[in-house]
Amino acid sequence: MAAHALDHDLQDLAASARAELVREIDASGAWAADPVWREAFEAVPRHLFVPYYYIGVTGGYERRRCDESDPERREQWLRGAYEDAPLATRVHEGELLSSSSQPSLMAQMLAELEVEDGNAVLEIGTGTGYNAALLCHRLGDELVTTVDLDPEITDAARRQLADAGYRPTVVTGDGARGVPERAPFDRIIATCALHAIPHAWLAQCRPGARILAPLATGLIVMRVRDAGHAEGRFLQTPAYFVPLRDGTRSEPELQDLGGLPRRARGDELFRFLLALTRHGLTAYEAYTLWEQERHPERDRFGVTISGDRSWSWLDDPEGPYAWPLS
């Protein structure tokens, strides 16, 4: 049975569960910067994009599916589809390969993208297609392009998008290279973790374009000046996504923290600092800076791309604290 072929009772449940999800996101303040996204989340049915997903259980994952023969288990699948939580959608040998992001985080990212009517948007990391559907609802199919490396993911996303009534351009390819044949773009949003912002994206942006991407367990928002220059700061929000290329979910490789105080080893902001500066500071140097600057929040950090150089920085791109990015 297809994900959208719900009986009457489940159709009612889907509508009420979606309305409750919207209320939760509303209460979180995620789209305070652009409340127009509320309408998109009210309209786009998330359950069409997660015909099955996995939940963590002792010893691995349990699969929930839309075609369960047990009515109670189908209802459990449907309720889970509308929880404000990330949903694992592809798992191989215990490793997470793809997921549907937490809706409130998606809402915040879309609001921070600051789209305007007529903007052409490139999404890096198609996933289930749900985020592309939200963009299509806001902007129209013809202005949305989404790319993913895995043909199985893009094929499934095309079907799910069509079932929901949306037809953006879905491309199978390396997101790090962008989609030059669909350029120029006014906005680029990545839903996969990066180690640096690919220079190729800048060349595919109009001057003044905005890029939002997960980087070093944070969210960087950059303004593009031209094909050779972009700059921006991190939001305060933490962000953990499946990486862009290798298909395994992990934080950026960190150095051995064994010699550092326990409170630093377990601190999320310190681990963000260490991930961001791993090409410029040892763990001890990062710890010294962290203490000296009184545990700086993410929004004090930024990234600059200029010519063939990319670097991260604290407070000032030309200040004393700057580190190369890979």
Q: Kindly state whether residue 24 falls inside one of the protein's structural domains.
A: yes
The pLDDT score that the predictor gives to residue 116 is 96
Q: What angle do CA 274, 279, 281 make, to 5 degrees?
A: 55
For 14-53, what is each residue's pLDDT tens digit? 999 999 999 999 999 999 889 899 999 999 999 999 999 9
- Of residues 263 and 181, more confidence is placed in 181
Question: Quick one: 160 and 270 in the same domain?
Answer: no
Q: Kindly state whether residue 246 falls inside one of the protein's structural domains.
A: no
Q: Kindly state whether residue 186 falls inside one of the protein's structural domains.
A: yes
Residue 95 has pLDDT above 90, yes or no: no
Active site residues: 98
Question: Quick one: 211 and 281 in the same domain?
Answer: no
Q: Among the three residues 214, 234, 254, which one is the final residue of a domain in this structure?
A: 234
Q: Kindly state whether residue 137 falls inside one of the protein's structural domains.
A: yes
Helix ranges (H only) for the chain are 8-28, 37-43, 71-81, 103-113, 130-139, 151-164, 199-203, 262-265, 268-276, 283-292
Question: Residue 245 corresponds to which tokens in the numbers above?
Answer: 């290329």
The pLDDT score that the predictor gives to residue 243 is 83
132: left (phi over 0), alpha (psi -120 to 50) or beta: alpha
Q: Kindly state whether residue 253 falls inside one of the protein's structural domains.
A: no
Q: Kindly state whether residue 249 falls inside one of the protein's structural domains.
A: no
Q: Among the three residues 234, 250, 270, which one is the final residue of a domain in this structure?
A: 234
φ, ψ of residue 10 to 5 degrees: the values are -75, -30
In total, how many domains does the chain have? 2
Question: Quick one: 177 and 106 in the same domain?
Answer: yes
Q: Which amino acid is at 214?
A: P
Query: Residue 128 sits in a domain of what CATH number?
Result: 3.40.50.150
Distance CA 27, CA 21 (A): 10
| Burial zone of 54 (CB within 10 Å; 0-12 exposed, 13-18 middle, 19+ buried) | middle
Distance CA 139, CA 40 (A): 10
Q: Kindly state whether residue 242 falls inside one of the protein's structural domains.
A: no
Tell me the average pLDDT across 121-138: 97
**Which structural domain, as residue segments, surrounds residue 307?**
262-324
Distance CA 135, CA 320 (A): 39
pTM recorded for the entire structure: 0.93
Q: Kindly state whether residue 189 falls inside one of the protein's structural domains.
A: yes
Question: Quick one: 219 and 112 in the same domain?
Answer: yes
Question: Quick one: 312 and 203 in the same domain?
Answer: no
User: What count of other Cβ atoms lies within 10 Å of the Cβ of residue 256?
Assistant: 8
Question: Quick one: 99 and 217 in the same domain?
Answer: yes
C-alpha dist (Å) from residue 15 to 46, 84, 122, 285: 11, 15, 29, 52
Query: Which value, to the nearest 10 degrees, does the dihedral of the CA atoms of residues 311, 317, 320, 325 take?
Result: -10
Helix (H, G, I), strand (E, B) or coil at 143: helix
Angle between helix axes 151-164 and 130-139 (nearest 10 degrees) is 50
For 180-228, what is each residue's pLDDT tens digit? 999 999 999 999 999 899 999 999 999 999 999 999 999 999 999 999 9
Question: Quick one: 188 and 297 in the same domain?
Answer: no
Question: Quick one: 111 and 223 in the same domain?
Answer: yes
Question: Quick one: 223 and 285 in the same domain?
Answer: no
